[in-house]
Amino acid sequence: MLGTQRPIFVLASTLALASTRTAHAETAHVEPLSPTPIKRYPPLSGFMLRPWSAAVSIGGGAFWLKDVPSEREGAGTGLGGVLSLRASFLYLLFVDTGFAAGSASDKAPFRETTCDYFSGSDCSSSKSSVSGGSLSAKAGLIGRFFFPMAGSTWQAAFLGAIGHRGMYLERSIDGCQDCSTKDLTIDGGAFLSPEIDLSYASNNDGSTALGGAVGLKLEYERYLGGDLVSAFWMSIFLEVL
């Protein structure tokens, strides 16, 4: 009986030793996982061109009339808000369209008696004002200059364009449906427009790919004809690059 158990014991010990050696051998061949490398993008610097971009902006500004149409129509300097869309393509070209709405100073106002709409009473003398809107479109060239500052990437864009603005102004009493109104004859006309944009670009000195920018833009319009002398607009914009 003892003779039979000894070979079984020896066999079990041999298998256990072989299993331990195999485990040690397998453990010895396990290599540590290498960390995933962080992808870096080249930080943007200097004059660079982008193949395309799209931007939307909102802001405000002013326009100035020439003396003759200003006296003829009884309207002065105008103030208003502007919403515009811009697309650039082929690295250097861009097109821009905008809508502006606002009011102008009324140099020849009229008065009418207005009453409360629901009761027909509570009447008073109301004064007219000049208000309206305009549409513009322009096209031209764009150049971009990128520079690092405080660990981030910033962009300065310089644009030059030629465009046209159409205007509609009227003299009326706000909130009165039955009062007199008068359309003003104000022609916008063609203009030359330099523009400067300053924005923060999401390159983060190379830690992320360039995907967009947010900033401030300044536009000046000098009119070649029509009834306007010039216009100036300041807007904040969001751009996809």
Higher per-residue pLDDT: 49 or 106: 106
Query: What is the sign of the dihedral through the CA atoms of 147, 149, 152 and 158?
Result: negative
What spatial distance separates the first Cα and last Cα of the chain, rounded to whole Å?
A: 88
Mean pLDDT of 94-112: 96
For the chain, the structural domain boundaries read 1-31, 45-240
> What is the DSSP secondary-structure string of 126-147?
EE-EEEEEEEEEEEEEEEEEEE
The mean of the pLDDT values for the chain is: 85
pLDDT digits (tens, 9 = 90+) for 164-211: 999 999 999 998 888 999 999 999 999 999 999 999 987 654 445 567
45-240 has CATH 2.40.160.20 classification:
yes
Total H helices, total E strands in the chain: 2, 12
CB of 233 closer than 8 Å to CB of 59 = yes
Full-model pTM:
0.78
